[in-house]
Structure 1
Amino acid sequence: MTTTTPAAVLADSLPAGLVRDASLVAGGAVVTGVLSQVVVPLPFTPVPLSLGTFAVLLVGASLGPVRGTLSMLLYLGAGVAGVPWFAEQSAGWHTASFGYVIGYVLAAGLVGALARRRADRSPLSMAGAAALATLAVYAGGVPWLMVSLGVSLGEALLLGVAPFLLGDVLKAAAAAGLLPAAWRLLGRRD
């Protein structure tokens, strides 16, 4: 039986240790909180357009599935506890857009697992990983939006997906450029 070592993610380029991992998890949550404040409010939907999803793509792919998921769980837990770092400096779970934060946890794990399988090494594979991770964000956000607003699936898609598609394509394209470039800067593509 042949065993293979999982591929490295960008964070594995740093010296190993518990302090490193804890710092990366906390740092990923902070990066997500900061980028979530870059917001374009849309008057026709309760869901703001933010760079939070972009942060999730970068954090999840850079940290890998376990640290990426833990980072988003920390982001979610601290936000529920009152840290105002969800989009528009909100906190708590009573907002119509909280389901997207739940989706961040799923997305970070997914894009991290795909990065662990080297999806972050080329622009095309990273774009695909980003697209799948974005679908995971929607999988958390749309049902929550339906329940919190009492709307149908079609209405939730109009309010919580359609206005964000172009921005999510741009975020995926940016991640597809940045992550492979980071590997090239390290001089590694293994």
Structure 2
Amino acid sequence: MSAITPAFARATLADRLTGRIGRSTLARDAALVVSGAALMSGLAQVSIPMFPVPITGQTLGVLLVGLTLGMRRGGLALVVYGLVALAGAPVLAGHQGGLSSLASPSFGFVIGFVPAAALAGLLAERRWDRSVVTALAAGAIVTIVPFLIGVPWLAVSLDRLGPAVWHGEMGAHSVLQAAIAGGVTPFLLGGLVKAVIAALVLPSVWGVVRRIDER
């Protein structure tokens, strides 16, 4: 029993739902990773076109993928998602894809999704996804991570585009102001809403799992 307990305690929701606690298989993990990347692709198309960064459902996808799959599979799912996008598959917002995406002002956020999903998975493995309070805290923390890469990437991109864009079109007095106005401010409320959704959904599913266990 002592050999099973640690694996059971660290089990993610995906482990519990597939009934494979402590018995990871390559095929199952690959299927979960691909499913996570596919979910990201679908939520990316739930978007509101904006310049320089569109509003999408991707942040919610990062939370769901990471908190459900765990650190390694969650992070890897986002790596697969980014590589598939760069390979040319139209999986980014607006059905975009290809190596030209690297020049996009918003691609830094896609890169930032990888450590964000891994962090979400790490917190899930420490049971942060099992109550509304801790899941909401996890969502708030994880939501910050993509900005740490996305905003500097956006600032560099806007600087490359020149004052005609960040001042003339966006009305900002500096590149940093434009990056914050275009890459942070519009996403604060939406990020909070997505964190709340994840904080309500995942503990609810865990509640169903616990009730099934009790029976």
The TM-score with structure 1 as length reference comes to 0.92
Alignment of 1:14-93 (within 5 A): 14=18, 15=20, 16-42=24-50, 45-91=51-97, 92-93=101-102
| Residue of 4, 7, 10 corresponding to 1:7 | 10
The aligned counterpart of 1:152 is 175
Query: Which has the larger displacement, 81-90 or 59-68?
Result: 81-90
Report how many residues are paired.
Answer: 186
- Structure 2 unmatched runs, 5+: 160-173
Alignment of 1:114-153 (within 5 A): 114-150=123-159, 152-153=175-176
Aligned-CA RMSD value:
1.8
Distance in 1 separating the partners of 2:138 and 2:178 = 27
How big is each residue's C-alpha offset from its partner over 1:136-163, in whole Å with a ceiling of 9 and x where there is no partner? 1111210110111116333211110101
Question: What amino acid maps onto 1:35 in structure 2?
Answer: L
String of CA shifts for 1:111-132, please: whole Å, max 9, x gaps: 1100111110011111111111
Once residues 92 and 67 of structure 2 are traced to their aligned partners in structure 1, the CA distance between those partners, rounded to angstroms, is 21
- Give the stretch that moved more between structures: 161-170 or 4-13: 4-13
Q: Which moved more, 1:84-93 or 1:4-13?
A: 4-13
The answer (yes or no) to whether the contact 2:158–2:175 under 8 Å persists in 1 is no
Q: In structure 1, what is the Cα distance between the partners aligned to 2:180 and 2:136?
A: 22
Q: Any unmatched runs of 5+ in structure 1?
A: none
Q: Quote the Cα distance in structure 2 between the aligned partners of 1:158 and 1:182.
A: 36
Q: Normalization by structure 2: what TM-score?
A: 0.82
Q: Deviations over 1:17-55 (max 9, x none)?
A: 21110000001000000111000123xx31000001101
The equivalent residue for 1:181 is 204
Q: Give the whole-Å Cα distance in 1 for the aligned partners of 2:125 and 2:61.
A: 18
Cα drift, residue 182 of structure 1: 1.0
Counterpart AA for 1:74: V
Amino acid in structure 2 at the alignment position of 1:12? D
Which residue identity is paired with 1:127?
A: L
Report the Cα distance in structure 1 between the residues aligned to 2:202 and 2:66, rounded to whole angstroms: 11
Within 5 Å, give how 1:156-167 maps onto structure 2: 156-167=179-190
Q: Displacement, 1:106?
A: 1.0
Alpha-carbon distance in structure 1 between the residues aligned to 2:39 and 2:198: 15
